[in-house]
C-alpha cells in the first residue's frame, strides 16, 4: 500500500519516509513539496483525531507544544541556510486531509511580492505538483539541518 494513503498509519508503522522524528504530540515530517525550502508538518499520532478538539486536553497541549518546537527548529534551520528567510507560519487547517496535522511554512524575502505577505495557499496550484520541487534526495541537506535543530529544541542535541 502507498504510505501516502495513510500517512499517520505509515508513520506509526515506521513506513512513512517523510518522518523526521517522533515528538510527544505526533510525528515531525518534511513536506512532500519543497518550493518553500524547509516546509514541514506535524502529524497526529492518533489516527482517530481529525481535529485538535478530538484529543483530550493533555494530548492537545502535547500536540501544540510539539508544533511550536518543530516550528522553532524549522525557523533555526531556514535562517541558517538562507539569509532571505523571513519567518514561519504555523497553521492547523484540516480542510482537505481528514487527520489532525499542522503546517510549518517558512517564508522568504525572495517570494513573489504579490504573495510574500499573504497565505501560502494563494500560490498557483502547479506548485503543489511540480516535479522540480518534489521531495527527494536533493532535500537531504535541509532535512538534516531541521533534524539537528529539532534535536536541540527537544533538549537532546
> Cα 144 to chain center, whole Å?
14
Read off the pLDDT of residues 24-44 as tens digits, 9 standing for 90 and up.
999 999 999 999 999 999 999
Confidence of residue 57 (pLDDT cuts 50, 70, 90): very high
Taking 70 as the threshold, does the pLDDT of residue 1 lie above it?
Answer: no
What confidence score (pLDDT) does residue 101 get?
97
Q: What is the pTM of this model?
A: 0.95
Backbone angles phi and psi of 63, in degrees to 5: -65, -50
Taking 80 as the threshold, does the pLDDT of residue 157 lie above it?
Answer: no
Backbone angles phi and psi of 127, in degrees to 5: -60, -30
The third-level CATH classification (topology) of the domain covering 3-152 is HIT family, subunit A (3.30.428)
Read off the pLDDT of residues 97-129 as tens digits, 9 standing for 90 and up.
889 999 999 999 999 999 999 999 999 999 888
Backbone angles phi and psi of 111, in degrees to 5: -65, 155
Q: Report how far residue 86's alpha carbon sits from residue 109's, in angstroms, rounded to the nearest whole number.
A: 6
What confidence score (pLDDT) does residue 95 get?
81
Confidence of residue 4 (pLDDT cuts 50, 70, 90): confident
pLDDT > 70: percent of the chain = 99
Taking 90 as the threshold, does the pLDDT of residue 21 lie above it?
Answer: yes
In the chain, domain spans: 3-152
> Cα 118 to chain center, whole Å?
19
- Is residue 33 within 8 Å of 130, Cβ to Cβ? yes
Residue closest to 41 by CA, chosen among 50, 49, 32: 32
Polymer length of the chain:
157
What confidence score (pLDDT) does residue 16 get?
95
Cα first-last separation, the chain: 34
Read off the pLDDT of residues 82-100 as tens digits, 9 standing for 90 and up.
999 999 999 999 888 889 9
Amino acid at each position: 500500500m502507498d504510505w501516502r494513503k495513510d500517512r499517520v498509519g505509515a508513520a506509526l508503522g515506521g513506513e512513512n519516509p517523510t518522518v523526521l522524528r517522533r515528538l510527544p504530540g505526533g510525528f515531525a515530517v518534511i513536506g512532500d513539496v519543497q518550493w518553500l525550502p524547509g516546509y514541514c508538518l506535524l502529524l497526529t499520532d492518533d489516527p482517530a483525531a481529525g481535529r485538535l478538539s478530538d484529543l483530550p486536553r493533555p494530548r492537545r497541549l502535547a500536540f501544540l507544544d510539539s508544533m511550536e518546537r518543530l516550528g522553532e527548529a524549522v525557523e533555526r534551520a531556514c535562517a541558517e541556510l538562507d539569509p532571505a528567510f523571513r519567518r514561519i507560519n504555523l497553521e492547523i487547517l484540516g480542510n482537505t486531509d481528514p487527520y489532525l496535522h499542522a503546517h510549518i511554512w517558512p517564508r522568504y524575502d525572495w517570494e513573489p511580492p504579490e504573495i510574500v505577505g499573504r497565505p501560502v495557499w494563494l500560490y498557483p496550484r502547479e506548485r503543489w505538483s511540480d516535479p522540480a520541487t518534489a521531495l527527494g534526495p536533493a532535500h537531504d541537506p535541509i532535512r538534516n539541518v531541521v533534524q539537528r535543530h529539532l534535536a536541540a529544541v527537544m533538549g537532546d542535541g
